[in-house]
């Protein structure tokens, strides 16, 4: 099935050029020039993935993501200015799946889109004949169901993005074993897509926050300074 990508940016040149590039790769596209217009459309008729500019009038990308996450967990890629590190960190903390700094390579953007869609397909057991039957992962109070992209802690649901799920899965598969940031990058970002250490750290912080919303004492993900992270054995 052809994937649909929604583009939200007040720069019409970017909307036009990116839309043409995506269509040439076989994607369907929808374009919106401001966040307010996009929000209702994204909720009423969700695309497979959305790309948001951060700096927009009327409703910026961060506010659009915040309000979208109240209703939907579609994958989102942020477009940020090169020096907007705060925007990048906030976007990841609020549930964005990835970010790309402007000016950006359309080739890189398309690679990121394909990687996220591929991970989403696997998480939803939608990879067809190539799909591998997944088994439940149970570690103490944690239960993960990769086929259904479902996570619970002591029976309470925890909603994770695809990237967050893959990072947690990599840690939970071998409790007590330290995973370096590079190993977690390999688990969550396939196809040789580069992300820096701060991206992994932001994802870990967000995963911890989501678990602490259902259990204020959650401390199963441990930081080993200078080494990486591990899921503690209970």
What is the CATH classification number for the domain harbouring 88? Answer: 3.40.50.2300
Identify the band that residue 194 occupies on the pLDDT scale cut at 50, 70 and 90.
low
Q: Indicate if 94 and 143 belong to the same structural domain.
A: no
Residue 160 φ then ψ, to 5°: -120, 150
Identify the band that residue 134 occupies on the pLDDT scale cut at 50, 70 and 90.
low
Residues in contact with 26: Cβ distance below 8 Å, sequence separation at least 6, in sequence order:
2
Q: Indicate if 19 and 119 belong to the same structural domain.
A: yes
pLDDT value at position 108? 81
Mean pLDDT of 120-127: 54
Coil, helix or strand at residue 123 = helix
Mean pLDDT of 157-176: 88
- Which of 49, 25, 45 has the alpha carbon at shortest distance from 37? 45
Instruction: Give a yes or no: residue 65 inside a domain.
Output: yes
Mean pLDDT of 114-138: 62
pLDDT value at position 2? 86
pLDDT value at position 164? 85
> Given a cut of 60, is residue 155 above it in pLDDT?
yes
Instruction: Give a yes or no: residue 132 inside a domain.
Output: no
CA 137 – CA 152 distance, rounded (Å): 11
Task: For strands 4-8 and 28-32, give the pairing.
Answer: parallel
Identify the band that residue 218 occupies on the pLDDT scale cut at 50, 70 and 90.
very high
Mean pLDDT of 59-63: 90
- Is omega for the bond preceding 103 within 30 degrees of 0, making it cis? yes
Contact 30, 7 (CB under 8 A): yes
Number of domains in the chain: 2
- % the chain with pLDDT above 90: 46
Identify the band that residue 95 occupies on the pLDDT scale cut at 50, 70 and 90.
confident
Mean pLDDT of 42-64: 91
> Given a cut of 70, is residue 126 above it in pLDDT?
no
Q: Indicate if 114 and 141 belong to the same structural domain.
A: no
Instruction: Give a yes or no: residue 12 inside a domain.
Output: yes
Identify the band that residue 145 occupies on the pLDDT scale cut at 50, 70 and 90.
confident
User: In sequence order, what E strands does 61-187 have?
Assistant: 76-81, 98-102, 137-139, 142-145, 150-153, 156-157
Q: Indicate if 141 and 113 belong to the same structural domain.
A: no
Range of the domain at 115: 4-125
């Amino acid at each position: 099935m052809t994937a649909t990508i929604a583009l939200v940016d007040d720069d019409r040149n970017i909307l036009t050029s990116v839309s043409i590039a995506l269509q040439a790769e076989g994607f369907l596209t929808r374009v919106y020039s401001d966040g307010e217009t996009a929000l209702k459309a994204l909720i009423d008729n969700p695309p497979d993935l959305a790309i948001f500019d951060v700096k927009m009038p009327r409703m910026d990308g961060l506010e659009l993501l915040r309000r979208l996450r109240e209703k939907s967990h579609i994958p989102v890629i942020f477009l940020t200015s090169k020096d907007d590190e705060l925007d990048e960190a906030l976007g990841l903390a609020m549930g964005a799946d990835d970010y790309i700094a402007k000016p950006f390579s359309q080739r890189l953007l398309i690679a990121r889109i394909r990687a996220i869609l591929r991970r989403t397909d696997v998480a939803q057991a939608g990879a067809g004949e190539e799909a591998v039957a997944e088994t439940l992962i149970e570690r103490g109070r944690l239960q993960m169901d990769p086929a259904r992209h479902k996570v619970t802690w002591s029976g309470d649901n925890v909603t994770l993005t695809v990237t967050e799920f893959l990072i947690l899965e990599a840690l939970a598969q071998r409790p007590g074993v330290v995973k370096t940031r590079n190993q977690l990058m390999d688990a969550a970002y396939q196809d040789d897509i580069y992300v820096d250490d701060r991206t992994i750290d932001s994802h870990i912080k967000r995963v911890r926050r989501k678990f602490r919303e259902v259990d204020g004492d959650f401390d199963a993900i441990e930081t080993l300074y200078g080494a990486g992270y591990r899921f503690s054995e209970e």
